[in-house]
A and B are shown apart, each in its own frame.
Chain A
């Protein structure tokens, strides 16, 4: 029954920029989580709690399973045949693997920006309002407002406001990526999953996205995967370091970068990793 999940009200949280993680309610909880593609296990016994309205960064070498974990949070891996998991992930203490949960209602609350930008073969306007349309909302004034808000949010409004009805394929790679971000926040999700959102962007656009992340975290819980250490240090409140499918260290971002508890972490963040 999906409504059980949807009806749960979130407890109000007092937010402060320097609040200790422990003072934040843990929103997404990952418990003893193993994950398998067919026979090969790619995630091993993960335990981590992601706080509400904070930015959590996943870092680690390529192929260590960051995307896999991220895609589990909105059950995007369901599409792949032969997957299997142990353990549990809960959002707001509700298991996302609950057989009674309707996946669609879960995904409506989670926006996702993919590693490869994937605009729809539609106009810019229709790309943004897609999540509203599939939810059955089609009031013109509401859609117009959402388009402007989302595009402004993704720092794209000024560039495309005169060509909203043109194809999204006419945008540059970086614009497409920002369009995908705008699309992800159009329906005001509670959680935003971003898989290397800046990998295709120049420094200026990257700066804009980072600004955006700063602004968005007042509203959203953000999980971001990045290969850029400076970026992780700049935007995130907490950082998790993964290596070969295992969680090596998870702590305040400052601590991970200034004073890591593990040798591997120190090597990785300082660029000395083998």
Chain B
């Protein structure tokens, strides 16, 4: 009725809340950037490790300050070029600042991987002042040799010298083919030696070890009973038999070993330094400067496979990471097997059966807080409770003889205790996730089930748990992600830098829960900090880290796939 004009809407001059859109957006962007950057750095460095890199032949000027062991040419892989800062120069190098006036290169330095650690006083790297570098070339005939000892060698092949004194020089046409053939021969023989020594002899040795422990116990008895005397004899007999079985095998391997070093590979290292390398130590060789892109890629894939499937060499600084990868995998699976039932049962009790009240609330808060306890605390608990208490009890009950001779079986660190310790550490995650999933199952469904005459447990088992299973798996995924990378508590409960055997193998009873094991996280730590040349093992650290991340991703993907499968099943038919 009123004829007054309606008031126009206020003009939106400065959109309300716009600032916060930006602030929150920037927050997210920074977080994402940091994660991507982290992954990119690890992935780049890790992958870089496997890519075959060209070998440069670097020529230094005659009057320059940097000569390499008196020589003026050296082959090596250029790792990086970096600037020198005046503050970091030693007093003797202060004239570089003047030199740099005319040539900026004098304030730059080149880091070169030279290999040949056996010849260069265990040094792997040379640092060359770039002002002294006259030229850098990439001649085709430079070879890189992977060895069993002393890391890689780099040089220029000269000849192959066979046992009977024959020499095949590098300028003959079939030289590379012959070398490949010889190296393959050696490799096959080495595989055979490993098969004999590690598998066949290792198996017999493990039996002998078992017998010897028993013998030690029987010998230590003050006054053995007649039966024990008989047993001792039998066991001594058995050891004799086993030793006899060992005999031909060790002969066979010794014979093979003797043939390994018959042939020598002769190459020029640097300048005129000639080295004779027994072929037995050569694992592989390649001419990176000659490789085409596809060859490089093939080599790259091969190296990755080798890295994943081989045992480490030279105190973990070379070779593969298979035992660590396998140990991590087995430990994580064992942990999941332990943590899931435990966490789910606890959550079911808390959410479904316990009378909600201050007591249950405080229990719940304690569980949440448990998730924040430093992991080393769990390690100490694992050591104090699992190993010293539970393990000791198991040993006295089942291995009284081993207790008597002071060689604990479960009373010392092992993969079982490590898994249980981590299970304990991650159980709060599973409990919290499961509780949430249980709470999300609607009341209507529960009432419907009870109205059908189902008991409470039937309702939980047939309806609530299946409906909650995707949520439970989410909890397990989080638990695995946390558990797989944890190192600190493992140090106390059974991880090893170099374990002699895998936790699962072909010796009865196949799964050895009492064994110590290797773990990728610990492997990274050892390689990064406790190897003689940490600069040289840096790429290995990145590669191992990449594998650790990928392992966690693969385990999680597995769980996520199971979860999606369950979700689909829940949403569609026949559950």
Contact = CB atoms under 8 A, between A and B. Distances in A.
Contact of A131 (B355, B453, B575): B453
B572 A110 contact: no
Nearest to A110: B451
Interface string A191-232: 000000000000000000000000000000000000000000
Given A121-B463, A126-B574, A126-B575, A114 B448 contact: yes
Contact of A120 (B356, B443, B449, B453): B449
Residue of B443, B452, B458, B572 with highest tally of chain A CB at under 10 A:
B452
Interface string A158-202: 000000011101100000000010011001000000000000000
B452 A81 contact: no
Contacts, number: 86
A123 B572 CA distance: 7
Contacts of A116: 444
A83 interface: no
Interface in B518-565: none
A187 B447 CA distance: 17
A108 interface: yes
B241 to A, nearest CB: 57
Interface in B462-495: 462-463, 466-467
Given A121-B466, A123-B575, A130 B447 contact: no
Contacts of A133: 462
Interface string B43-78: 000000000000000000000000000000000000
B450 interface: yes
A100 interface: no
Contact of B451 (A74, A81, A105, A167): A74
B454 A112 contact: no
Interface residues of B, number: 27
B573 interface: yes
Nearest to B443: A79
A149 interface: no
Contacts of A76: 447, 450-451
Interface in A86-124: 104-105, 107-108, 110-112, 114, 116, 118-123
A187 to B, nearest CB: 7
Interface residues of A, number: 35
A130 B451 contact: no
Contacts of B3: none
Given A121-B463, A121-B575, A166-B572, A187 B444 contact: no
A258 interface: no
B447 A120 contact: no
Interface of B: 355-356, 442-455, 458, 462-463, 466-467, 570-575
Given A76-B450, A116-B444, 11 more contacts: A79-B446, A107-B450, A118-B444, A121-B463, A121-B467, A122-B574, A130-B449, A134-B449, A134-B454, A165-B573, A167-B571
